[in-house]
Amino acid sequence: MSDSTLVGGHLRSDDPELASLIDEETKRQSTTLQLIASENFTSLAVMEATASVLTNKYSEGYPGKRYYGGNQIIDKVETLAIERLKRLFNAPWANVQPHSGANANAAVYFALLKPQDTVLAMRLDQGGHLTHGSPVNFSGQLYNFVGYGVTDKGDGGETINFDNMYELALKHRPKLIVAGATAYPRVITVDRVREIADEVGAMVMFDAAHVAGLIAAGVYPNPLYTSSGGKGADVVTFTTHKTLRGPRGGAIVGHEEHGSVIDRALFPGFQGGPLENTIAAKAVAFLEALQPEFRLYQEQVVRNARAFADALERQGFRLVSGGTDTHLLLVDLQSFDPELSGKVAQEALDRAGITCNRNQIPGDPRSPFVTSGLRFGTAAMTTTGMEEEQMRQVAEFIATALRKREDESEVTRVRAEVEALCLKFPPPFLKK
């Protein structure tokens, strides 16, 4: 793709080696299936804002309270992003400066907890995130995390075990309960979490990294509020680059009583100068998410995920929890092929032009580096315009590539079919 318009003349002449690598990645993204649940394609407007002159400005602090001069315009940019985000989530307070979801989580912990305080969060092997208490992560090293899990397999199984959460909360009296997950395909309602937290005097943080776009579109309950309209989570953290379809980054929304302390925890406590070019791109994404078309997109994301889940089941895969309510699917490979690990499956699918990630399933007998599962998401391919029919085709590609993984000619054939499908549904950066 040497004629790619994504690489400008300056970069192509000043650093042809890097320009060539960007061309290669452009080709990879546009000729293979992007099924990683934490990825999406941004609009060209988001990409333009990310690459704007705002990258040149240093702006430590917050609007109206900067440590550097010349931030009159920057203050307007960041304020615009804040106001759009508050409107999007019906939030009394918002912070758009986190560089990532992990940084957003860290800022909340830093603001609301002291070292070694007890936190209740979903176990990592049951769907929780690295920042929910992994011993190799700062969260598990600085705080005392206790993990709740999901129910056993079966009808309605592998969903959050609120009885377990309640028992652990009574026993350990956590200061904070973390809801939300990185590999959990069902809706998490905040009502029961709030009830448990109130009984033991805990605060609630909802990590909405994966479902922020669904929440913004109104196709997933807003965790800031209970179903009756009362206070839900005290604070909600999320990334802006998954279902929200913005630039790579994070954000926090919440109720006003914790706003100032979290602001101080993020800066100067945890981060230095914000990335105002990325904040501008977040503002663009928030405006896009406020449009009626965004709800239609998110509704299609969920329809695609359900069609994809049904098609995978027909191919012999078992879906953890029996299906999905969101963009995310967690697949148990053991029913399809007991000898097939997530690591081997991921590598075979990569060769077939299908990008996904291996993932542990509840009760996984294999390590996190090997796993017995795969995680898929439909947000990116829905952005390209794919619908249920294409999701069924993709399920067939996956099954064929994994059944025939030792036959390189068959894998190559699937890759050619994948590329032909992708060329019919180009990502936004290739659309005229």
* Residues assigned a catalytic role: 58, 60, 207, 239, 242, 248
CA 240 to CA 413: how far, in whole Å? Answer: 36
Rounded Cα distance between 251 and 285, Å, is 12
Q: Is 256 annotated as a binding residue?
A: yes
The answer to whether the annotation marks 327 as part of a ligand binding site is: no
* Cα–Cα distance for residue pair 347/196, rounded to 1 Å: 42
Check whether 319 is labelled as a binding-site residue: no
| Residue 129, annotated as binding a ligand | yes
Q: Is 128 annotated as a binding residue?
A: yes
User: For residues 25 and 300, what is the distance between their CA atoms, to the nearest angstrom?
Assistant: 27
Q: Which residues contact 9 (CB under 8 A, 6 or more apart)?
A: none
Q: For residue 304, give both structure tokens.
A: 């695609």
Closest by Cα among 112, 117, 210, 120 to 160:
120
Residue 79 to residue 274: CA distance in whole angstroms:
13
Phi and psi of 61, rounded to 5°?
Answer: 110, -160
Q: How far apart are CA 356 and CA 35, in angstroms?
A: 5
What CA–CA distance (Å, rounded) separates 39 from 19? 22
Q: Classify 25 as helix, strand or coil.
A: helix
**Structural contact between residues 110 and 131, judged by C-beta atoms closer than 8 angstroms:** no
| CB-CB contact of 202 with 176 (8 Å) | yes
Estimate the share of the chain in helix, then strand, then coil, as percent rounded to the nearest 5: 45, 15, 40
Closest CA to 301 of 248, 243, 355: 243
3 state DSSP class of 46: helix
Query: Which residues, listed in sequence order, are joined to residue 120 by a DSSP beta bridge?
Result: 146, 177
266 is in an annotated binding site: no
Element (H, E) at 196: helix 190-200
Known binding residues are 124, 128-130, 256, 367-369
Binding residues for (6S)-5,6,7,8-tetrahydrofolate: 124, 128-130, 256, 367-369
